[in-house]
């Protein structure tokens, strides 16, 4: 399974282009990725239009301190959990709130809960 669909890639690139232009936006997450055998979750909103690999969003590696950060999709593709399962895309994810709201709630809870 690919981590993001072509449609998600296009939306994330558009969000990345808006951010590169300095537009003040607070997009909805486009994709939710997770480790099926661990507690890591990534809610991603944009891709860097220059490299098409660096994603930005809310990153929760399961240590109780989710943060807004960047990560390369190519790095996520190489991650394996304790049972050697790869990172997967939540096929049923539909964002309910903007990224800033997810981040604020995650900071209070110590994890992404949705």
Q: What is the pLDDT of residues 56-107, one digit of tens each?
A: 999 999 888 999 999 999 999 999 989 999 999 999 999 999 999 999 999 9
Measured over all CA atoms, what is the biggest interatomic distance in the chain, rounded to whole angstroms?
41
pLDDT at residue 62, as a whole number: 85
- DSSP run (H or E) holding 112: none
The structure's pTM equals 0.94
Q: Does residue 80 form part of some domain?
A: yes
Backbone angles phi, psi at 94, to 5 degrees: -135, 115
Cα separation, 74 vs 84, in Å, equals 17
Q: Does residue 114 form part of some domain?
A: no
Q: Does residue 88 form part of some domain?
A: yes
Q: Does residue 87 form part of some domain?
A: yes
Q: Looking at the 3D structure of the chain, how many domains does it have?
A: 1
Q: Which domain holds residue 64?
A: 6-109
pLDDT of 24 > 90? The answer is no
Cα separation, 22 vs 95, in Å, equals 23
Please report, in angstroms and rounded to a whole number, the separation of the first and last CA atoms in the chain: 22
pLDDT of 1 > 70? The answer is no
Q: Does residue 102 form part of some domain?
A: yes
């Amino acid at each position: 399974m690919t981590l993001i669909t072509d449609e998600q890639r296009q939306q994330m690139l558009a969000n990345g282009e808006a951010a590169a232009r300095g537009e003040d936006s607070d997009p909805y997450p486009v994709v939710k990725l997770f480790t099926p055998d661990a507690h890591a979750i990534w809610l991603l909103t944009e891709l860097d239009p220059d490299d098409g690999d660096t994603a930005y969003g809310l990153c929760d590696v399961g240590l109780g301190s989710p943060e807004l950060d960047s990560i390369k999709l190519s790095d996520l593709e190489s991650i394996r959990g304790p049972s050697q399962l790869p990172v997967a895309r939540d096929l049923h994810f539909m964002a309910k709130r903007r990224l800033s709201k997810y981040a604020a709630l995650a900071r209070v809870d110590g994890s992404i809960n949705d």
